[in-house]
Amino acid sequence: MASIDQSPKASPTSLFQVYLRLRPPPSPLVQLTQQSLYPLLPPPERYLTVEAPGKDSQDGMPTHITIHPPSDSRKRAVEKFAFTKVFEEQAEQLELFRGTGVVPLIEGVLGEGRDGLIATLGVTGSGKSHTILGSKSQRGLTQLSLDVLYRSLGTQTLHPADHASLIASLNATDASEAQIFSAPGFLDNVYGDSLQEPSRSRAPTPMMVGSPSRSSLKVPYSSLKVHHTTGPRSQWSILSLDAVTPSPEKSNSSAVNEGKAASVPNAERIPNHTSTLPSQPSFRKPLNPGMTRKQAKMRFGDTLQDPAFTPNVPKRKLPQRPSALPQFPDISGLAFSVEPNMEYAILVSMHEVYNDRIFDLLSVPSNQKDLRRRHLLFKSTEASPDRKVVAGLCKVVCGSYEEALMILETGLLERRVAGTGSNSVSSRSHGFFCVEVKRRPRGGLSNSWIGSQLTIVDLAGSERARNAKTAGATLAEAGKINESLMYLGQCLQMQSDSDDGAKPTLVPFRQCKLTELLFSNSFPSSSHHHSTHTTHHKNAQKAIMIVTADPMNEFNATSQILRYSALAREVTVPRIPSVSSTIFANTTSRTLSGQTLPPTVHTDEAVVEMAFSEIARLNEEVEVLNVRLTEQEERRKEAEENWQKAEEKAEQIEMEVREECWSEMERKTEEERRRWMGAWGEEADRNDEHLDRKLEILSKGIQIHEDPIEQDARTTELEDENEALRRKLEALERELQCRSPTKLPRKAQLSSPSKDFGPGVLGAALFKLNGMSLTEAAECKPQSPGKTPGKKMRKLTARKWDLMDEKEMDAFENHY
């Protein structure tokens, strides 16, 4: 650590400039209430002292504090801490805004193109949100920063309503796969007609302990049904929130239900004002009486899912409600000059880290599938290969300060908060508010946007379950919050160790989402600006950490945070007066007259005194070493716990990866099976088709081949006929033989047939047919000339037979 006596300056490698802000005690009324509630509790003791500013302190501001363990603590070590500056209880918001490095940070975002980050860290209830978001009378660093940004950019700020292609142009160059909307369109879809309505009665905004909790405000539609303890940041509610005051019991009991909130579909969260909360006026756009929740969801979703959506709302006609916001402190005199030949677009996005997961605070479900809030990834994208971004956020282009405030309020309504024993409106997540300032040359033709981002982080506070009196899901949340803050502490510890001159250590920022988001871009990188295809060197971000502490509360938790966030530290153990010195002090001789005489110098006594003082010194050293040892042991324990957690996490990741691989394999196998089944089916179909075609061909072929069958049948028929004729012939011959020889010339006639139709012709025909089958006849070749008649007859072909004309055949048949 840096020498504690010098005015601490963060080294160039520092991740943060660290400022300390002390929280003022609660108002007398609140103190009175607390005393009446817990009469046995001793009045809180102040354990923190602010050291007078040193000679070289900046602006005459103190830089060191000392903490003395309270009387009931067993610890004795007095610790002194150094910070860049210490802001005491009476410090106002403006003092903080001007005194911390916020103004140069904004200048860096506007001019140098350097990202800036402001974060608050502290025990729950120490004033982080108050610093970042302000109260109902004072603006916080967020509003003040926005005001300066818009004042500086003035008329060079582009508004989507004036530039039709603005959203498309921003969309084309956005590296974070964001959905970009215009503010009026976004707000119209969230609040609709209520934006145009005259302001309703403004609710008293509860803020202090004892006043109605955050839950008493009208809560957003997304949280009405499930978290009764959740609601908007009470201190600086913008819109007309007609407060309703749920009973504290309800608040407490439902706090337990908070963990379920994430898994409850938003459809269930749309308030049914007439049924579930009859006395509660609506906050989000009142649904049309005839519109079901589903329809309402669809309506919002349908319009918003188109990133290029340009709403049909009057140009820049926002409700007057932001004017009801605190205007103090006034910073109208503060503005930076920006490049005159440039035009600027301001994009606002919001997300939270809840249970180590990132959720968009501005997302509006675009369809039924999106009803559950999906967590987003912090990753490098195609357009941003060497810088990580939260991918898939909703970003809203805000043309004015008022629009930006409305968006901020909208996001805060979605943020998870709960009432705990330590803070009635305690943040249960780490909230990130991001303002991107993009610029391009004037003219609006170019898509070559470059820009930088200001991120404002309201961290959830660390808490002790015993003090916070949390249980169930809220306790589990607290566990996650404390774990992420512990990792943050380790990163900060590394910073102070390397500032101390120890060899530079790697900051272990990849241990959880919070530290990843905070530190990933804290180191220089070069990114390829995809629109221009040139390498754009991105400066490392500058960061400010404002540590908030209540000097009268939570000694252990506060000292722990101071220990790891301070830029330098010194431990001393107060001297206990030694026995000898006490004895010797009492041995001072007095005369009778009461005159004090110089003590008699006894050499032995001097030696003893020296010995005692040496013993005392050594004792003191031992004490300091003991303190260091205890700290080292704590660190070791912490490291061991981390190691164990890391191992468990590794195991869990391994299991998850295995399961993922397994399910991927199963999915692929199933896919492959389906593919094969499909291919198989197709093949089978093809086969069937093929078979059908074959059958068709076959059936056609069968028809063709029917001819020979018919021929066979015909042959058989003819053969039968032939047989019948032969029999008839034989019968005739027999008949002839039985006749008288006078009739023989007829036989001779038969052997020489004439051309007449008559027995001669018939005889010749019968003669021809006799002794030959048609088959044989068919086989016979045509008769060649010069052959014997006998031979001729044998070789009579069916063709020849066939050559008989029809008349002849008919005559022949009729004859027989």
Ligand X SMILES: Nc1ncnc2c1ncn2[C@@H]1O[C@H](COP(=O)(O)OP(=O)(O)OP(=O)(O)O)[C@@H](O)[C@H]1O
Smaller CB separation from ligand X, 469 or 792: 469
**Ranges within 151-210 binding ligand X (CB under 6 A):** 207-208
Question: For 45-79, what is the HEC assignment?
Answer: CCCEEECCCCCCCHHHCCCEEEECCCCCCCCCCEE
| Exposed / middle / buried, residue 610 (Cβ in 10 Å: 0-12, 13-18, 19+) | exposed
Site string for ligand X, 747-786 (x = CB under 6 A): ----------------------------------------
423 binds ligand X (CB under 6 A): yes
Site string for ligand X, 4-23 (x = CB under 6 A): -------------------x
**Ranges within 458-517 binding ligand X (CB under 6 A):** 460-461
Question: Binding residue for ligand X (CB under 6 A) from 427, 470, 511, 565?
Answer: 427
What is the C-alpha separation between 212 and 228, in angstroms, rounded? 13
573-576-582 Cα angle (round to 5): 160
Smaller CB separation from ligand X, 184 or 489: 489
Q: Please name which of 124, 48, 138 lies closest in space to residue 86, comparing C-alpha atoms.
A: 48
**Ranges within 86-145 binding ligand X (CB under 6 A):** 122, 124-130, 135
Contact yes or no for 500/11 (Cβ under 8 A): no
Smaller CB separation from ligand X, 187 or 460: 460
What's the min distance (Å) between Cβ of 237 and ligand X? 13
What's the min distance (Å) between Cβ of 449 and ligand X? 34
The residue type of 378 is F
**Is 122 a known ligand-binding residue?**
yes
What's the min distance (Å) between Cβ of 426 and ligand X? 3
What's the min distance (Å) between Cβ of 374 and ligand X? 25
426 binds ligand X (CB under 6 A): yes
Helix (H) or strand (E) holding 717: helix 706-738
How far from chain centre, in Å, is Cα 302?
A: 20
557 binds ligand X (CB under 6 A): no
**Is 123 a known ligand-binding residue?**
yes
What is the C-alpha separation between 373 and 680, in angstroms, rounded? 41
Question: Binding residue for ligand X (CB under 6 A) from 331, 425, 543, 627?
Answer: 425
Smaller CB separation from ligand X, 548 or 578: 548
What's the min distance (Å) between Cβ of 90 and ligand X? 9
Cα 216 to Cα 204, 280, 424, 428, distances in angstroms: 10, 10, 11, 17
Stretch that binds ligand X, among 303-311, 376-384, 423-431, 805-813 (CB under 6 A): 423-431
**Ranges within 20-49 binding ligand X (CB under 6 A):** 23-24
416 binds ligand X (CB under 6 A): no
**Is 593 a known ligand-binding residue?**
no
232 binds ligand X (CB under 6 A): no
**Is 129 a known ligand-binding residue?**
yes
Contact yes or no for 85/592 (Cβ under 8 A): no
The secondary structure of residue 596, as a DSSP letter, is B
**Is 126 a known ligand-binding residue?**
yes
Buried b (16+ CB within 10 A) or exposed e, 614-647: eebeeeeeebeeebeeeeeeeeeeeeeebeeeee
Give the contacts of 298 (CB within 8 A, at least 6 positions apart): 367, 368
Size of interface with ligand X, in residues (CB under 6 A):
21
Smaller CB separation from ligand X, 26 or 763: 26
Smaller CB separation from ligand X, 105 or 546: 546
Q: Can you list the pairs that 410-413 forms with residues at least 24 positions away whose Cβ atoms lie under 8 Å?
A: 410/186, 410/187, 410/190, 410/361, 410/362, 411/350, 411/361, 411/362, 412/133, 412/232, 412/233, 412/350, 412/361, 413/219, 413/220, 413/222, 413/223, 413/231, 413/232, 413/283
What's the min distance (Å) between Cβ of 474 and ligand X? 11
Smaller CB separation from ligand X, 482 or 531: 482
What's the min distance (Å) between Cβ of 208 and ligand X? 5
What is the C-alpha separation between 195 and 186, in angstroms, rounded? 12
Smaller CB separation from ligand X, 303 or 426: 426
Buried b (16+ CB within 10 A) or exposed e, 140-151: bbbbbbbbbbbe
What's the min distance (Å) between Cβ of 121 and ligand X? 9
The secondary structure of residue 372, as a DSSP letter, is S
Smaller CB separation from ligand X, 550 or 623: 550
What's the min distance (Å) between Cβ of 274 and ligand X? 33
Smaller CB separation from ligand X, 166 or 460: 460
Buried b (16+ CB within 10 A) or exposed e, 57-72: beeebbbbbebbbeee
| Residue set of the binding site | 122-129
Q: Which residues are annotated as a binding site for ATP?
A: 122-129
In the complex, the residues that contact ligand X under the rule CB under 6 A are 23-24, 122, 124-130, 135, 207-208, 235, 423, 425-427, 460-461, 548
